[in-house]
Structure 1
Amino acid sequence: MKARVVLKGLALMLSLALLGYLFESSDLGNSVNEAWIDTRVRGHGVSGALLFLLMGGLFTAIGLPRQIIAFLGGYAFNVGLGTLVGALAALLGCMLSFGYARLFGQGLLRARLGERAGRFDRFIQNHPFSMTVLVRLLPVGNNLLTNLAAGISSIPAVRFFAGTLLGYLPQTLVFALVGSGAHIDPALKLALAIGLFLVSGALGAYLYRRFRHGQSLDDQVDAALDETGGSHDESRFPR
C-alpha cells in the first residue's frame, strides 16, 4: 500500500480531530453544534438519531465522504452508538445511490460506467458477499462510484448491502472514535484511531491481493495498492 494513500487517510483523520477540538473549545464550534448537532440531534433520543440517519444517508448518497458522517456520529452519540448510526447512515446512502442506478440509471450510467460495472461483476461474481466486504475494507476507491457500478451490475442487492454494512464498520469505528467525547486522553485516542485505520487498511490491501484471483477492480485501486504501479495513481480516499 503506497505511502501516499496512507498519508491521505491520516490527513483526513487529523483534520477531523482538529475540527472536533474546535467543536469543543471555540465559539465557531459552538455555533456549528447549536445549529445542528446540539439543537437537532443530541438529547433528542430516537427522533434525533433518525434525523441524523436520514441526513447522513442523503449526503452520502450524493457523494459526501462517509468518514465525515462517522466522525459526526461519534461526536453526536459517542463511540458505540455513533459507530452504529454512522454505519447505518452510510448504508442508507449506499442503498439510495444503488437503487437509483438499478431503477433509473441503466442508460446513462451504463454508457459511463459500463467498464467499471463489468469489472465489478467479474470481481464479485463467485462470492458476492465476501468480495463486497473486501471492497469496502480497501483504503482507496470511490464509495459513490462503487455504489453506482454495483447498481448496474448483476450483484444481488441483499448480499451487496449486507457485505457493505460489515465492510463499513472498521473505518466507521475509527472515525467515530476520533469524533467522540470519550473519556480518553486525546493523544491516546488519536493514536488508537490511527492504529486501527492502518490495521484495517493493511488488512483490506492484503485480502485484495490474496483473493482477487487475477481480476482487477479498478486500475487506480491496483496502482494505489502497488499492484501495477505506474503513473496512474489518482486514487482518492474512499467515500
Structure 2
Amino acid sequence: MNARRLLPRLVLLAGLAAVIIWAALNRDRLDLAALDTWLSGLGLLAPLAYLALFAVGTVAFLPGALFALAGGALFGPVWGSLLNLVGATIGASLAFLIARYLAGHWVAARTGGRLKRLTEGVEAEGWRFVAFVRLVPLFPFNLTNYALGLTRVRFTAYVMTSFICMAPGAIAYTWLGHAGREAIIGDASAIRYGLLALGLLAAIAFLPRLVRRLRGERPGWIVTDELARRLGGDGVTIIDVRSPEEFIGSLGHIDTALNIPLGELPDRLTEIRAFRDRPVIVVCKTDKRSAAATVMLGDAGFRDVSVLRGGMEQWNRDGRPVGKGGAVEPAR
C-alpha cells in the first residue's frame, strides 16, 4: 500500500483510538445530569448534538443502554425513541465501515471466535442473520457492529436491517428511561410506561426460541466426508436420536454414537451436560428429527451443534462403516 493511501488510514485510526481513550477516561462523567445540562444549553441543536454523541459513543464502545435510557429521560418516549434508533444506526454504520475499510485486523483479533460464527451465519442467511442478531442479543452490540463489517453482507442491507430490527429494543429502553424520570417527579403514568417497556424487553428476551420455531431452526450441517474425517480426532460427540430398534436395525449406527431417542431427549439432557462445550453431531435416519433435536440442545446451552446431512441413509450410501451391536449410551 502506497503512502498516499496509508496516511489517511493512519490518521483515521489515530482519531478512533483517541476517541476510545477519551471515552474510557470520561466514562464516569457521562451521566444523565451532565447530559441534561449540556444539551439544555444547545437549544434547537440539542437533538443533533445528541445524535452525534450517541454515534461517537457507539464507535467508542460506550454502553448503548446508557444513551437509550438517557434519550427517553431527556426527549420523551416518542422523540427519544426516534433519536435513539437513528443514533444507534449511525454509530453502527460507522463501526461497520471502520472495520471493513480501516481496522480489519484489529477487529478480527478482538472478536476471536465470535467472528467465525458471525461469518458463517451471514454466509448461510445473509441479511436475515443480521436481523436475527439485532433482534436477539446474542453478541455484544458494539462489538457486533465491527465484526459484521468483516463479513460479506452488503452495507445497504446491513443499515436497513439494523434500523428496522433495532427498533423494538430502542423503544423499550427509551420508554424505560422516560418512565424512570417521570416516576422521580411523581407522575403516576410512569408505572404504565415502565410496565410497557419491561414487557417489550421480556418479549425480546424470548425472541431466540420464537425465531427458531418460526424458521424451523435451520441447523448447521456436516456432510459424511467431514464427519468421517473428524471421527479420527478427539472431542466430537455423536448423538443418534432414532429409536433403539432403528439404532441396531438395517441402517446400523456410527460406532461411537450415543443413542438417545428424540422423545426422551428433554428428560435426559442431564446425562450429556458434560458435552455442552464440545462439538455435537446429531444423527437420525435422514435429518428431520436431527433438526428438531438441535432446537432442544440449543435451548439447553449446547454451543456447537451440527446435523449429519442425509442422516444414516446418506452414511450408508457413501459406504461408511456402521455398527450393528447394542445401543451406546452416556454413562449414568
Structure 2 length-normalised TM: 0.52
> How far apart, CA to CA, are the structure 1 residues paired with 2:122 and 2:195?
34
Residue number in structure 2 paired with 1:203:
207
More strand by share: 2
Cα distance change, pair 52–169 in 1 and its aligned pair in 2 (3 A): same
2:89 touches 2:159 (CA, 8 Å); kept in 1?
yes
> How far apart, CA to CA, are the structure 2 residues paired with 1:53 and 1:191?
27
Residue number in structure 2 paired with 1:131:
129
Q: Which of 274, 299, 313 is residue 227 of structure 1 equivalent to? A: 299
Residue number in structure 2 paired with 1:44:
43
Percent identity between the two aligned chains: 22
Counterpart residue identity of residue 170, structure 1: P
2:32 touches 2:70 (CA, 8 Å); kept in 1?
no
Q: CA RMSD in A?
A: 3.1
Q: Which has the higher contact order (CA 8 A, sep 6+)?
A: 1
> How far apart, CA to CA, are the structure 1 residues paired with 2:139 and 2:209?
12
Residue number in structure 2 paired with 1:91:
89
**Larger Rg belongs to:** 2
Deviation at 1:40, TM superposition (A): 1.7
More helix by share: 1
Structure 1 window deviating more from structure 2 (143-152 vs 115-124): it is 115-124
Residue number in structure 2 paired with 1:190:
194
Residue number in structure 2 paired with 1:213:
218
Counterpart residue identity of residue 61, structure 2: G
Q: Which of 115, 118, 126 is residue 117 of structure 1 equivalent to? A: 115
Deviation at 1:34, TM superposition (A): 5.8
1:66-81 correspondence runs (5 A) = 66-81=64-79
> How far apart, CA to CA, are the structure 1 residues paired with 2:32 and 2:112?
42
Q: Which ranges in structure 1 are unaligned for 5 or more consecutive residues?
A: 1-31, 232-239
Deviation at 1:124, TM superposition (A): 2.4
Q: Which of 103, 106, 118 is residue 105 of structure 1 equivalent to? A: 103
> How far apart, CA to CA, are the structure 2 residues paired with 1:55 and 1:111?
27
> How far apart, CA to CA, are the structure 2 residues paired with 1:226 and 1:42?
50
How many pairs align? 195
